Amino acid sequence: MDKKMLKDGMEMIDAHFKEEGLSRRDAIKMFGVGGAAVLMGSGVATEAKASSSAAKAKIVIIGGGLAGMSTAARLTNSLDNPDITVIEPGEISTSYQPGQTLVGGGVWDKSELVYKTDDFVPDGVTLIKEKAVEFDPENNSVKTSGGKTVKYDYMIIAAGLKLDFSRIKGLGIEETITSTSDHSPVSKAVGKNGITSIYYQQGSEDTWKEMQKFIAEAKSGKKVKGIFTHPNTPIKCGGAPKKIMYLTDARLREAGARDNADLTFYPNGSKMFGVKEYHDAIVNQFEARNMKWNYRHNLIAVDPEKKVATFMRHWNEKGPWDEDLEEYSIVPKSETVEKEFDFIHITPPMVAAEEIGKSPVGSSKGWVPVHKETLQHIKYPNVFALGDIAAVPMGKTGGSARKQYKVVVDNIISMMEGKELTAKYGGYTVCPLITSLSTVMLAEFDWSKKPTPSFPLDPTQERYIWWLLKVYALKPMTQYGMLSGRA
């Protein structure tokens, strides 16, 4: 089928579904794992079993989330005699984190995204339910929280990242958490008084509860203010802070209360998106929805009682003339700004786990330093990293991990067989940007920072077909495709 026929066909499908609608039951039937594969074509379709290798080595994987367990599964499929150990303490670490946005917007229930880690451990893989706390890459060993010393020939770090609400003053939070770990240190302040965050499981459920209160206030005739933040650190799923804002807008419109709500986005950066085409599209979408934004604002404090958020607003000004460089110097400026809110969605600062970031395999910024294409550690050749914890310019999404884990597996097997590392990660990142309760803009891009759509459709357009993909297809594709090591 040529591109024009495919484009015309998909646009017809998109228009038909948008006009006719599709029940949840029928959508689940249609977009099961097979439907997901067909819809996303060669980019996501499940693959045939890879040819196996007779090479032998002891492989340790740090982290049993989506990236770690998918890597374990693919290695199991690819080796005749796999010797694989996963070190992961979390009982639900493999849960479907991309669904937390949908829970926060009242589309899904939290129970729909919680998976038990034990259900996704590949046959033959050893799972140590402890945390890796000490790393000795010079001697190829890891020590666990339970005192075990685990030796390896190759180590793969897929430990994800942690949410650091402690950097925001006034919340009284001192500990970092993961999306699926004990949320109690954070939930004492977040999830009440209009303060929300979809970045951890309980937080996503609490976001929907607080959003309904916010909508009820607007519906009663009260003029209300909603604030949405984006911090000054790298974050997983960079589109999520905007997704929950779009969903808040959609729910207010659904309730007939949008005119009573002021919605403002406060990102630390100076753009909506790092890819110009998607940046421009989002600006147009914000303008069409009367959603406001203020760049270069980093959230530094929240007063839960007064419902006031404090930002550090920062900018640059032209300074004195530099005679040596023959140009004006740039002088950084900043000031604190206070904003009242009735509802605030906090995207917390995010960091690498302390025991990894401060170890020999970490870096000054915490993230594990790897060559961005091979994902091999820059100092220790038998160490690889992928997913949120890898220090690559892009790639803190599940869609990125789907590309990365294949590269890591192929390159480790090449090393085991004494071959050169030829598999390369091209920076592929995908963000299904939810823009309403029926549309998604499927933003795909790579190192080029240009749109790289999987289909011959304008990637800057909001489409119903991508909503179906996001809500019904991606979860089964992840469960039965990626976590089996074949998608």
Q: What is the CATH number of the domain that holds 289?
A: 3.50.50.100
10 Å Cβ neighbour count for 25? 8
Give me the amino acid identity at 50.
A
CATH of the domain at 113: 3.50.50.60
Based on the domain organization, do 339 and 414 belong to the same domain?
A: no
Rounded distance between C-alpha atoms, residue 69 and residue 120, angstroms: 7
3-state SS class at 442: strand
Say what the pLDDT of residue 21 is: 60
In terms of residues, how long is the chain?
487
Look up residue 113 and give its DSSP letter. Answer: G
Residues 317, 364 within the same domain: no
**In whole angstroms, what is the distance from residue 364 CA to residue 76 CA?**
34
**Among 237, 309, 350, 441, which one carries the catalytic annotation?**
237
Which pLDDT value is given to residue 13? 56
Q: Number of structural domains, the chain?
A: 2
Q: Which residue, of 334, 349, 364, is where some domain finishes? A: 349
Judge whether 345 lies within some domain. yes
Evaluate whether residue 30 is within a structural domain. Answer: no
280 shares a domain with 410: no
Positions of E strands within 125-230 = 126-128, 132-136, 141-144, 149-151, 154-157, 162-163, 195-196, 224-230
C-alpha atoms less than 13 angstroms from C-alpha of 480 in its C-beta half-sphere: 14
User: 150 and 171 in one domain?
Assistant: no
Q: Does some domain include residue 407? A: yes
CB-side exposure of 35: number of CA atoms within 13 Å? 18
Is the distance from CB of 214 to CB of 307 less than 8 angstroms?
Answer: no
- The answer as to whether 448 is a domain residue is no
Catalytic residue among 431, 443, 483, 487: 431
Same domain membership, residue 238 and residue 107 = no
Q: Are residues 313 and 406 in the same domain?
A: no
Tell me if 464 is assigned to some domain: no
Has residue 323 been placed in a domain?
yes
Q: Which domain-ending residue is among 327, 349, 371?
A: 349
Compute CA distances 445 → 67, 386, 442, 452, 453, whole Å. Answer: 20, 18, 10, 5, 7
237 flagged as catalytic? yes
| C-beta separation of 330 from 319 below 8 A | yes
Q: Are residues 365 and 328 in the same domain?
A: no
Look at residue 18 and tell me if it is in a domain: no
> Is residue 8, in this structure, part of any structural domain at all?
no
Sign of CA dihedral 313, 316, 318, 321: positive
The answer to whether 176 and 189 have CB atoms below 8 angstroms apart is: no
- Is 431 marked active-site? yes
Taking alpha carbons only, the member of 445, 443, 478, 477 closest to residue 459 is 443
- Tens-digit pLDDT profile for residues 364-379: 999 999 999 999 999 9
pLDDT computed for residue 239 by the predictor: 95
Same domain, 270 and 147: no
User: Can you give the residue range of the structural domain that contains 79?
Assistant: 48-161+352-429+475-484
Phi, psi of 355 (to 5 degrees): -70, -20
In a shared domain, residues 311 and 384: no
- Residue pair 450/444 in contact (Cβ under 8 Å)? The answer is no
Domain boundary among the residues 330, 349, 368 is at 349
For residues 197 and 315, state if they share a domain: yes
Q: Domain check: are 142 and 126 in the same one? A: yes
Regarding whether 275 and 357 lie in a shared domain, the answer is no
Residues of the chain with pLDDT under 70: 1-51
Alpha carbons within 13 A on the beta-carbon side of 184: 1
CA-to-CA distance for 98 and 240, rounded, in angstroms?
9
